Amino acid sequence: MNKLFLLGKVYALQSLGIGKMLHAKDPAAKRKSLLMGVGFAFLAVLLVAMSAVYSVGMGQLAAMVGRPELVLTVMAVAASLLSLITVIYKAGSVLFSFQDYDLQMALPIPQSTIVASRVLILYASSLLFSCLLLVPAAVVYAVQTGPSLRFWLALVPALLAMPILPLVIGLVLGGTVALIAARLGRNKILSILLYGLLIVGVLFGSTALSYRAAEMEVTELAQVGSQIALQLESVYPPAQLFTQGVAGGNWGSWLLLMALCVLPFALFCLLVGRYYRQLHAIFTTTSAKGKYRLGELRQSSALSALYKKEWRRFTSSTLYIFNAGMGALMLILLCGALFFLPQDQLEAMMGVPGLAGMLTGICPLIMAAVGGMGAVSSCSISLEGSHLWILQTLPVRTSQVFASKALVNLTVLVPACLIGSTMAGLALRPSPAEWVLFYLTPLAFALVTSLGGLVCNLLFPKLDWQSEVTVIKQSVASFLGYFTTPLLAAAFIGLGFALHLSMVLVTAVATVAALLLCLVIWGWLNTKGARIFAQL
């Protein structure tokens, strides 16, 4: 246990930036780390508030059918599903592909302990999701039913145990896919297809559920909601055990839940620990073919060379593709859904009166917001990591480096914008002027996302990483890359609603503003940004 604690401590100090915050001599670096911590805490509070609102709505529906405990069931399933999805495509990287593997394996630490430490890294994020969803749900249930102390005593261990089973399932599934993919020649294609199917399936499922909900009266929804909850219990028994054990006071169910969660974890760590070296070898060892014959070589420009290098980096990592490219995927799915969703149903679903009438005006900004979720460029500088010396010693201008990274981001976003805009336009049939905005607005904001991502990364670089998960999923820069463009687009939408302006006018102004912002950002990148890059 002591060694497990030590490994966890090293991870926290190294990868979460706690070491830098505690020991950095530079006051500015310390302040920055502290600010980041405060920012994350603020975000956590925001997410808890959003979850609470959702739980209150769910709780009211459950109370209407006389089953208030169903809010716990639904949230337990949601938390488990979220945990499963996020673990699946991180499994390979976190379990097998971390830079201090050699160091840890050479130390007198049991392999099962090393495996447990890697699993606990993922457990921490799963626990976060679990708490975000289940704590508000538990509070809502408690407010409705006024349970005894026994409820709270049963809740805390159950809350800690709940994420473990989906975590183990996710590790098995994700690890298996990663191991199979590592052995096949077209490894990235297989893993991309599998992860893509999973994500599309989840998105379609939740969209279909929301669509159905929009069609129903509240009482009907409550009835159907309880049926769905009961079906969820039968499909995912731990959710039922959670509800019975915590809300129902059934200690047998509670103990069974604990066993169901903890035992697979222990078994997983022991088994994987037993064969860890072999599994790691499968994942990481590649036999060099050694059959290359030098052919004709063609010269291309420095910018082209940098772009190709960046593109190959992006496509070399499934995690990078799906995390940073999520916005592009969701944009296409959203616009595709517009084909099938009648506008009045969309209005009911979104809860915005009069939305159908202003959809053609607002759609470009919504596309801009969705497409901007996840900037490829926002972690592209951090991902240089220990390779940064190459760019620092080559005769390449900083503007070329930045341009190549932004171009990769645009390569992902521009086709998605064009496809999405065409589908949305065909579905909504805007006027000629609106057609122009349907294309121009998402493209302008795509440029903001690409350049803005670089700014985020320059302000919050993280070059000393052991696993790319730290940079792609857990860094401040990637977090800002997710939210900056959507917030900007949402601000314009909000302004339009607040001032009762024509949404077409607002969109046009937003587009011009976005293009001007790009000029400002590019200027900043080539002056202050270049200085920051030189100091990295």
Which residues contact another protein by CB under 8 A?
25-26, 286-292, 294, 296-302, 304-306, 308-309, 312-313, 316-317, 385-387, 389-390, 392-397, 534-535
What is the smallest separation between the CB atom of 521 and another protein, expressed in angstroms?
23
Looking up tokens 């991502």 gives 453
What is the smallest separation between the CB atom of 321 and another protein, expressed in angstroms?
13
Residue 289 C-beta-side C-alpha neighbours within 13 Å? 4
Distant-in-sequence, close-in-space partners of 108: CB < 8 Å, separation ≥ 6: none
**Nearest to another protein of 36, 391 (CB atom):** 391
What is the smallest separation between the CB atom of 107 and another protein, expressed in angstroms?
21
Helix/strand/coil for 98:
coil
End-to-end CA distance of the chain, in Å?
Answer: 38
What is the smallest separation between the CB atom of 309 and another protein, expressed in angstroms?
5
**Nearest to another protein of 224, 396 (CB atom):** 396
For CA atoms 530, 484, 461, 89, the dihedral sign is negative
What is the smallest separation between the CB atom of 159 and another protein, expressed in angstroms?
40
Q: Which two tokens stand for residue 215?
A: 């069609």
Looking up tokens 């992902």 gives 412
What string of DSSP letters covers 116-147?
HHHHHHHHHHHHHHHHHHHHHHHHHHHHHH--
**Nearest to another protein of 380, 441 (CB atom):** 380
What is the smallest separation between the CB atom of 397 and another protein, expressed in angstroms?
7
For CA atoms 62, 63, 69, 72, the dihedral sign is positive
**Nearest to another protein of 112, 409 (CB atom):** 409
Sort residue 431 into left (φ over 0), alpha (ψ -120 to 50) or beta: beta
Beta-carbon neighbour count of residue 52 at 10 Å?
18
Closest CA to 330 of 206, 440, 468: 206
Instruction: Give CA–CA dist 179/183, Å, rounded.
Output: 7
- What b-and-e string marks burial along 363-399, b requiring 16 or more CB atoms within 10 Å of the CB? bbbbbbbbbbbbbbbbbbbbbbeeebeebeeeebebe
What is the smallest separation between the CB atom of 403 and another protein, expressed in angstroms?
14
Instruction: Give CA–CA dist 240/238, Å, rounded.
Output: 5
**Nearest to another protein of 386, 431 (CB atom):** 386
**Nearest to another protein of 343, 392 (CB atom):** 392
**Nearest to another protein of 2, 300 (CB atom):** 300
- Is 117 within 8 Å of 7 (Cβ atoms)? yes
**Nearest to another protein of 24, 202 (CB atom):** 24
**Nearest to another protein of 101, 438 (CB atom):** 101
